Amino acid sequence: MNKAQRIHTFFERLQAANPHPQTELEYTSVFELLAAVLLSAQATDVSVNKATRRLFPVANTPQAILALGEARLCEYIRTIGLYRSKARHLLQTCEILVREHEGQVPRLREQLERLPGVGRKTANVVLNVAFGETTLAVDTHIFRLGNRTGFAPGRTPLEVEHAWLACIPKTFLLHAHHWLILHGRYICTARSPDCGRCLVRAECGFKEKTA
């Protein structure tokens, strides 16, 4: 098979195994998703969910987060890494949402990336998960898979993002983000990829490099 055929089969197999992939972050609104993704930088989804299960029943809107204030917000999220700076960013983001967007999360990338603590990756997650856009948020797993498989090599997250977007067939683009993250999180791990359990081993270029 040529590269295009291998990539198509790669995603076809991931789709067959998990037709409707979901983020592992817990949320019930677009704002909760934005807050959870903001808090997840350099932290696990497990740790974020543990904190937001306590936070969101008390405050799950920009107005309610602002009413908490920094000290009380920190108490809810202190189990997450870098929680103090994340609390400040979340509060600043809430101020902008209330002041400029009537408390709603904007749908435009430029507006999302203007929010404190929201970079390209976070904006891509919100655009994809909340608004159904075919964006790809390159985290450590997607970056690793791009280079390890040989499908989307790059030296920076942006290079890998563009490489993935250029090669993924359109029919798979909406859910590609989740398939790649889940595959990287549980099968194609950083230190010891579990090639024996890999559904897409035949399409991956990794074995060719290590044979």
Catalytic residue positions, numbered: 121, 139
146-156 burial, b at 16+ Cβ within 10 Å, e below that, comes to bbbbebbebee
Question: In residues, how long is the chain?
Answer: 211
DSSP symbols for 10-75: HHHHHHHH-SS---SS--SSHHHHHHHHHHTTTS-HHHHHHHHHHHTTT--SHHHHHHHHHHHHHH
Cβ(130)–Cβ(105) below 8 Å: yes
128 in Cβ contact with 92 (< 8 Å): no
